[in-house]
């Protein structure tokens, strides 16, 4: 029922109503570093989901009435404990999902703590000024909606999970969290942390399991009042179909096929270095600009500099500080990425970089790959690979660049590299994306609205937008007459 991961003890059972709950069924957590089985996890079903929602519904009656200040205090206490355990959390998550240990230590786990601090503080300043309509005073308030179901992916499980869990708890919702089956371990540690911080029993619940079983049971349950999901379009369609029967409001982040646009007037060194960053986390980043669009007049120069940098990328064990990118998350995902690449090659495309597994390392390590000039509408341009695979296309005018950038069913993000501020503003206003970076990448603040257009998702989260989602926003109108003088 407990296992040790990199010297850290992790409970493999669910967390429901303030206690550990086991299941008869089990599933294995397999480390992508070496494909070793590292944990035998309790596999939840509709039974455990029912228990968790019952616990969350019962706890909601008290939690929704808990003062803002007390909810904020508890979230800050959770952040305190996370900060005291960054090394343990980083070690466990690296072993579990194969992302870089150095990134977990320096960036990801500190952001996990920040998720709780930010939404605790935002809760205390959440307000809308009263306003008058023909002498009638209007007051806006945010009422907790109820039980929030949260389902997140494996590429940054604790960070992406707490990005939704923290605002839901701050808003006064209770939570049932289904962590990713390919990287479930830090969710169990978060349950321990929440309990140590003093979060009341039933306010936060974790049910592990396979998506088609535990996730499906959670999505269709009539007891949930909000559902936040991050993952694939195909899974989102299934969730929307069953949650829609209960008219449950949804927040979806579904990945992307983002353009990375390089104009001739850019800082070329900055553009190349930023483009190399699109291989981060072995390409398993929804925001990555995987379609490099480069102005023809600098295309050869850009490509030469890019290939020089890309061939120097150090791939290997993510626990090594010298490693730049690690493995793919699992054998099925590794084969999916390779399938995209091999079909592109079979269609006549020749990779100028990579194009195959890293035979030197074996296992789940895939070489950073770059294709030149895939034909319009080809699979490698159209579909999200979610691996270290980029494509490069040329353009001759700003108008052509916009057309290429918007030639996708996705619309999560875009990157623009240019020295012309007016061009940047023009391009930003025309590109279809929820987030646009100009001469930068991955600059994200929790005050920002985050979400995508088209197949990249539904809704926005961050700052007040998160509270708008997890709450029922109410407007109360007070007449100027009819009140007792002592009332």
Do 249 and 279 reside in the same domain of the chain? no
Do 224 and 277 reside in the same domain of the chain? no
In a domain, 17, yes or no: yes
Choosing from 173, 266, 286, 471, the catalytic residue is: 286
Tell me the per-residue pLDDT of 383-403, one tens digit each, with 9 for 90 and over: 999 999 999 999 999 999 999
Overall domain count for the chain: 2
Domain that holds residue 50: 2-254+456-475
Q: How many residues does the chain have?
A: 487
Tell me the whole-structure pTM to 2 decimals.
0.96
Tell me the per-residue pLDDT of 215-266, one tens digit each, with 9 for 90 and over: 999 999 999 999 999 999 999 999 999 999 999 999 999 989 999 999 999 9
Predicted pLDDT at 53: 98
Query: How many C-beta neighbours within 10 Å does residue 199 have?
Result: 23
Q: What is the distance between the alpha carbons of residues 374 and 376, in angstroms, rounded to a whole number? A: 7
In a domain, 166, yes or no: yes
Q: What is the distance between the alpha carbons of residues 125 and 327, in angstroms, rounded to a whole number? A: 42
Do 360 and 220 reside in the same domain of the chain? no
In a domain, 136, yes or no: yes
Do 358 and 209 reside in the same domain of the chain? no
Q: What is the distance between the alpha carbons of residues 206 and 9, in angstroms, rounded to a whole number? A: 17
In a domain, 487, yes or no: no
Q: What is the distance between the alpha carbons of residues 112 and 162, in angstroms, rounded to a whole number? A: 6
Q: Quick one: which of 324, 258, 341, 264 has its CA closest to 292?
A: 258
Whether the predicted pLDDT of 487 surpasses 80: no
In a domain, 443, yes or no: no
Looking at residue 227, which CATH number applies to its domain? 3.40.605.10
Whether the predicted pLDDT of 90 surpasses 80: yes
Do 189 and 263 reside in the same domain of the chain? no
Do 36 and 124 reside in the same domain of the chain? yes
Average predicted confidence (pLDDT) for the chain: 97
286 is catalytic: yes
In a domain, 450, yes or no: no
Looking at residue 361, which CATH number applies to its domain? 3.40.309.10
Do 263 and 243 reside in the same domain of the chain? no
Tell me the per-residue pLDDT of 5-27, one tens digit each, with 9 for 90 and over: 999 999 999 999 999 999 999 99
Within a 13 Å sphere around the CA of 485, how many CA atoms are in the beta-carbon half? 0
Q: Quick one: which of 294, 284, 234 has its CA closest to 103?
A: 284
Tell me the per-residue pLDDT of 284-311, one tens digit each, with 9 for 90 and over: 999 999 999 999 999 999 999 999 999 9
Predicted pLDDT at 320: 98
Do 238 and 322 reside in the same domain of the chain? no
The SS3 of residue 205 is strand
253 is catalytic: yes
Do 263 and 389 reside in the same domain of the chain? yes
Q: For residue 423, give both structure tokens.
A: 């061009």
Query: How many C-beta neighbours within 10 Å does residue 32 have?
Result: 28
Do 244 and 274 reside in the same domain of the chain? no
Do 100 and 215 reside in the same domain of the chain? yes
- Helix, strand, coil in percent for the chain, rounding step 5: 40, 25, 35
In a domain, 75, yes or no: yes
Instruction: Return the residue matching tokens 């390779």.
Output: 338
Q: 26: burial class by Cβ within 10 Å (0-12, 13-18, 19+)?
A: middle
Q: 483: burial class by Cβ within 10 Å (0-12, 13-18, 19+)?
A: exposed
In a domain, 243, yes or no: yes
Average pLDDT over residues 77-84: 98
Whether the predicted pLDDT of 367 surpasses 80: yes
Choosing from 93, 253, 295, 384, the catalytic residue is: 253
Tell me the per-residue pLDDT of 167-196, one tens digit each, with 9 for 90 and over: 999 999 999 999 999 999 999 999 999 999
Do 284 and 237 reside in the same domain of the chain? no
pLDDT more than 70, % of the chain: 100
Confidence of residue 1 (pLDDT cuts 50, 70, 90): confident
């Amino acid at each position: 029922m407990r296992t040790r991961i990199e010297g850290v003890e992790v409970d493999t059972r669910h967390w429901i109503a303030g206690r550990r709950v086991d299941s008869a069924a089990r599933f294995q957590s397999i480390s992508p570093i070496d494909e070793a089985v590292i944990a035998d996890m309790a596999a939840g079903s509709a039974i455990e989901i029912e228990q968790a929602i019952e616990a969350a519904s019962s706890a909601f009656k008290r939690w929704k009435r808990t003062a803002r200040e007390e909810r904020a205090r508890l979230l800050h206490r959770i952040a305190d404990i996370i900060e005291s355990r960054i090394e343990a959390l980083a070690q466990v998550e690296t072993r579990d999902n194969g992302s870089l240990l150095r990134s977990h230590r320096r960036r990801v786990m500190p952001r996990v703590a920040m998720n709780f601090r930010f939404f605790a503080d935002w809760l205390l300043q959440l307000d809308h000024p009263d306003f008058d309509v023909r002498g009638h005073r209007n007051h806006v308030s945010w009422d907790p909606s109820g039980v929030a179901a949260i389902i997140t992916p494996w590429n940054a499980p604790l960070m992406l999970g707490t990005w939704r869990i923290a605002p839901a708890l701050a808003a006064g919702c209770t939570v049932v969290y289904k962590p990713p089956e390919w990287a479930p371990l830090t969710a169990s540690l978060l349950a321990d942390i929440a309990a140590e911080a003093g979060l009341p029993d039933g306010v936060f619940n974790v049910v592990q399991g396979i998506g088609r079983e535990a996730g499906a049971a959670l999505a269709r349950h009539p007891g949930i009042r909000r559902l936040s999901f991050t993952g694939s379009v195909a899974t989102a369609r299934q969730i929307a179909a069953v949650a829609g029967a209960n008219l449950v409001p949804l927040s979806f982040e579904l990945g992307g096929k983002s353009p990375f646009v390089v104009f001739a007037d850019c800082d070329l060194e900055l553009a190349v270095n930023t483009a190399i960053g699109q291989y981060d986390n072995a390409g398993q980043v929804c925001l990555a600009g995987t379609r490099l669009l480069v102005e023809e007049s600098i295309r050869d120069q850009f490509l030469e500099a890019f290939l020089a940098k890309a061939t120097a990328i150090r791939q290997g064990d993510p626990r090594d500080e010298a490693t730049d990118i690690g493995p793919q998350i699992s054998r099925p995902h590794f084969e999916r990425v390779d399938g995209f690449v091999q079909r592109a090659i079979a269609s006549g495309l020749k990779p100028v970089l990579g194009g195959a597994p890293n035979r030197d390392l074996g296992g789940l390590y895939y070489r950073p790959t770059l294709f030149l000039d895939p034909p319009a509408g080809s699979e490698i341009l159209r579909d999200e690979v979610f691996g270290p695979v980029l494509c490069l296309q040329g353009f001759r005018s700003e108008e052509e660049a916009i057309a290429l950038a918007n030639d996708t069913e996705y619309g999560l993000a875009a990157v623009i590299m240019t020295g012309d501020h007016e061009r940047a503003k023009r391009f930003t206003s025309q590109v279809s994306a929820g987030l646009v970076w100009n001469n930068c990448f991955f600059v994200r603040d929790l005050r920002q609205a985050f979400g995508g257009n088209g197949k990249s998702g539904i809704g926005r989260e961050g700052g007040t937008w998160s509270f708008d989602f997890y709450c029922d926003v109410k407007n109360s109108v007070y007449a100027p007459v009819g009140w007792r003088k002592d009332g």
